[in-house]
Structure 1
Amino acid sequence: MHRVEEFSHAGATLIAERRGHGERVYLLVHGIGMGRAVFADLARHLGDGEVIALDLPGYGEAPEPARVLTIERMADLVAAYLRERVDVPAVVVGHSMGAQIALEIAVRHPPVVDRIVLVGPTVDPAARTAPRQLWRLLRDIAVESPRVIAAGAREYVHAGPRIRAKFRAMLAHRPEDVLARAHAPALVLRGEDDPVAPPDWCARVAATLPDGRLAEVPDHGHETMIRDAAPAARLIRTFAGEA
């Protein structure tokens, strides 16, 4: 049974879709231009426990805030949701921009986090410009399936006309400056063919985290959790102690 709820804090609102029950809680945080719908396949494969997928403010069905939120402010909002609506520390799974948010939650609000999973983490400092990020995204999309392209297109439409400002907020965040302060156990997960999160950057992220490790999903790109999420789910469940 799915439950959908709104949560507001400091002038911004997110939407949370909750499914399942149990002591373990997975919280899924989407990337730029996306929404909770892209996690449908991953949620089905995450096994026992509760899975919570979010629409961040201005994405999916969540209303636009008065001002585009920084990565830090989005982390504060999600952490407030976890404190008020979730009884146990969560396994926070962030994809792409969502990995930046998951990282900041672990740094700024460690009590709400059991561990973090950074899937296809952005932003690689070697490509911290809009043209370079867009070029990497286009390279990834060019080899994806029609299902992935269609899902992404729908979500980008939902993200609305302020997508450029949201993109700037993502690029302004510097994950490399805070990695060493995230003490929760961390899994850095990348698709083997992901041009957005290249291997040298992901290896640097895993090595800089105090308790980090790196894993790859063969034959997948940046959208590894949209197209056939089962391999990623197995790695996440093993990391979380389920298997």
Structure 2
Amino acid sequence: MTRPVRIEVEAAGQLGHVFASRRPSDDGPAAPAVVLIHGIGVSHRYLRRLHRFLAQSADTYSIDLPGFGGTPTPAHTLTAAEQARYVLGAMEELGVPEFVVVGHSMGAQFAVETALQQPSRVPHVVLMGPVVNDRRSSVAQQALDLGRDCLFYESPSSNALVVTDYFRCGPLWYLKNLRVMMDYRIEERIGAVAAPVLVIRGGNDPVAPLDWCRRLAARAAAAEVVEIEGTGHVVQHNRAAQVCEAILAFAGIAAAGTEPQDSAA
């Protein structure tokens, strides 16, 4: 597979990056595209392993949202709804009318908003390690849970990706977006999502514990929870093959005959 093509895309008045992997037109019947959305402070980089697996079976797009991953910082802090408008606009600019939306952590909030704004374009929604757990809803509790995850349940490579992206994001922009994340009530918004929802969590994830994921799924019109053992919050990096398999099965996308192997952590 060739490396994803980096495309600068302006949409909804903002500038971001899209990393696109498109399968050849003669590679069998077209499958729904998959769009990957990162969480707070980070970028497409911790989605690269999952992107690589998914791209064997479907056109796959990873986004660096406005203000993240080296993209220009917007003039004001964007709400979850505004970030979703960017996602929808960017995909429209690239000629992708319909797609499975996959969000990690705060990206799960953006994924829900994407599905709510244009439900006809989003047939399936995948939420990986969704936030914010309504029983751990203070900044201090979230910081404690994230710290436990980094110390005990993440690989060195996932920690390196996250920490370096946090530095690139910068503390001011991070803190502005933290308030957006903490104020967003995903448990109240998910009930209006028409598409079926898959909630994926790492079996050791203290940020998105099992009881929270089950309660969140119970509020959706149609949802299921998949737990992947032996990893923490950044499940899509540390268990990319298993996460890919779960997404493909959920979205009804036929898996390619051969897939790349996870690289060493």
Q: Does the CA contact (< 8 Å) of 1:7 and 1:15 recur in 2?
A: yes
15, 19, 22: which is aligned to 1:20?
22
50, 55, 62: which is aligned to 1:42?
50
Task: Indicate the residue corresponding to 2:257 in structure 1.
Answer: none
Q: Alpha-carbon deviations, 1:168-201, whole Å to 9, x = none?
A: 1111111111111001111011111110011111
Alpha-carbon offset, residue 124 of structure 1: 1.1
| Larger fraction in strand | 1
Q: Does the CA contact (< 8 Å) of 2:16 and 2:65 recur in 1?
A: yes
- Choose 27-36 or 44-53, whichever is displaced more: 44-53
Alpha-carbon offset, residue 86 of structure 1: 3.2
Question: Which residues of 2 match residues 123-134 of structure 1 at below 5 A?
Answer: 123-134=132-143
Aligned-partner residue type, residue 134 of structure 1 = A
Gaps of 5+ in 1: none
Aligned counterparts of 1:114 and 1:242: Cα–Cα separation in 2: 12
Residue 6 of structure 2: SS of its match in structure 1? strand
121, 133, 154: which is aligned to 1:112?
121
Aligned-partner residue type, residue 38 of structure 1 = Y
Task: Indicate the residue corresponding to 1:75 in structure 2.
Answer: 84
Task: Indicate the residue corresponding to 1:99 in structure 2.
Answer: 108
Alignment TM-score, normalising by the size of structure 2: 0.88
Aligned counterparts of 2:116 and 2:239: Cα–Cα separation in 1: 31
Matched, 1:158 2:160: no
Aligned-partner residue type, residue 20 of structure 1 = R
Alpha-carbon offset, residue 34 of structure 1: 1.1
Aligned-partner residue type, residue 49 of structure 2 = D
Q: Does the CA contact (< 8 Å) of 2:136 and 2:142 recur in 1?
A: yes
Alpha-carbon offset, residue 10 of structure 1: 3.5
Residue 252 of structure 2: SS of its match in structure 1? coil
Alpha-carbon offset, residue 23 of structure 1: 3.5
Identity rate, percent: 35
Task: Indicate the residue corresponding to 1:89 in structure 2.
Answer: 98
Residue 7 of structure 1: SS of its match in structure 2? strand
Q: Does the CA contact (< 8 Å) of 1:24 and 1:48 recur in 2?
A: no
Equivalent pairs counted in the alignment come to 243
Q: Alpha-carbon deviations, 1:138-195, whole Å to 9, x = none?
A: 0100122211111111111121232111111111111111111001111011111110
Task: Indicate the residue corresponding to 2:38 in structure 1.
Answer: 30
Matched, 1:207 2:209: no
- Choose 76-85 or 165-174, whichever is displaced more: 76-85
- Choose 220-229 or 27-36, whichever is displaced more: 220-229
Q: CA RMSD in A?
A: 1.3
Aligned-partner residue type, residue 62 of structure 2 = A
Aligned-partner residue type, residue 183 of structure 1 = A
Structure with greater Cα Rg? 2
Q: Does the CA contact (< 8 Å) of 2:201 and 2:233 recur in 1?
A: yes
